[in-house]
């Protein structure tokens, strides 16, 4: 695993720098990429170094896209909630 990180870590970081501005988010995504590689080490070890890099970059892109989709969904939900008026009327039955 150390070899994979040392050979491809900077390429994954460069990709994430182009996709995400927030440094902490990039670090989290970078860790997620290599966490997945570790969990699938049997699969990743069978790949050539070029295939490993491609696999890691694809995972990085997909994880970033998933994070952006979730973030967008949360933002839209928050916007929708803040636009809806809160009914503060007290029910006559209460």
Residue 89 lies in a domain: no
Has residue 94 been placed in a domain?
no
Residue whose structure tokens are 């890099």: 53
Whether residue 88 is contained in a domain is answered as no
Q: Number of folded domains in the chain?
A: 1
Give the model confidence (pLDDT) of 42-52 as tens digits.
999 999 999 99
Are the C-beta atoms of residues 25 and 70 closer than 8 Å to each other? no
Asked whether residue 41 is domain-assigned, the answer is: yes
pTM reported for the whole predicted model: 0.74
Q: Which two tokens stand for residue 83?
A: 């636009």
**Residue 33 in domain:** yes
From residue 78, alpha-carbon distances to 69, 72, 82 in Å are 14, 10, 6
Q: CA distances (Å), 6 to each of 11, 45, 74, in order?
A: 10, 14, 35
For 30-43, write each residue's pLDDT tens digit: 999 999 999 999 99
């Amino acid at each position: 695993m150390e070899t994979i990180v040392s050979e491809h870590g900077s390429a994954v970081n460069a990709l994430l720098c182009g996709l995400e501005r927030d440094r902490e988010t990039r670090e989290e995504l970078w860790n997620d990429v290599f966490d997945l590689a570790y969990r699938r080490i049997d699969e990743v070890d069978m790949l050539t170094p070029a295939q490993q890099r491609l696999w890691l970059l694809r995972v990085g892109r997909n994880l970033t896209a998933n994070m952006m989709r979730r973030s967008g969904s949360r933002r839209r939900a928050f916007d929708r909630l803040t636009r809806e008026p809160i009914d503060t009327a007290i029910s006559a039955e209460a």
